[in-house]
Amino acid sequence: MFNFFKKKKPQKANQQISSISFDINIDGSIEIIFDWPDFNKDNYDSIPNIAKLLATTIYSINNNILEKDLINTLKNHDQSNPFNSLFVNNVFTELIYLEKNRRLNSSINVPLIAPSEVFKME
């Protein structure tokens, strides 16, 4: 389902040093694309800093630290096309559904009484 690979993209004017892209394919598969500079003897001293920033970004994605930023970015979509608003509303609906489903499934897996406590004598 996931493809991980490095692909060169043109750098943006804001001095982008690395990037992570998620390409969602029609079949639902996701390609995760990392980009970083081509390191050599002239720029190898920047490796620790760029690695730290990329690792921090990955950590932030994995731990929902960017959740509010992602939601705010969706909220600030181009509203000149009403179909964009419809799309974003559908994304929010799916996010709510996925979160409710996650909570339901996580609560089912946690017993109300621990098995070790059932036959415990006081």
Q: What is the DSSP string of the chain?
A: -EEEEE---PPPTTT---EEEEEEPTTS-EEEEEE-----TTTGGGHHHHHHHHHHHHHHHHTTTTHHHHHHHHHT--TTSHHHHHHHHHHHHHHHHHHHHHHHHHHHTS-SS-HHHHT---
Residues 64-101 pLDDT 10s? 999 999 999 999 999 999 999 999 999 999 999 999 99
Q: Where are the domains of the chain?
A: 1-65, 66-110
Tell me the average pLDDT of the chain. Answer: 86
Share of the chain above pLDDT 90, in %: 70
Tell me the pLDDT band of 3, cut-offs 50, 70 and 90: very low
Rg of the chain on CA atoms, in Å: 21
- Bridge partner list, 5: 33
Q: For residues 56 and 60, give the distance between their C-alpha atoms in angstroms, rounded to a whole number.
A: 6
Distance CA(58)–CA(10), nearest Å, equals: 21
Q: What is the mean pLDDT of residues 116-122?
A: 66
Take residue 2 and report the two structure tokens written for it: 């996931």
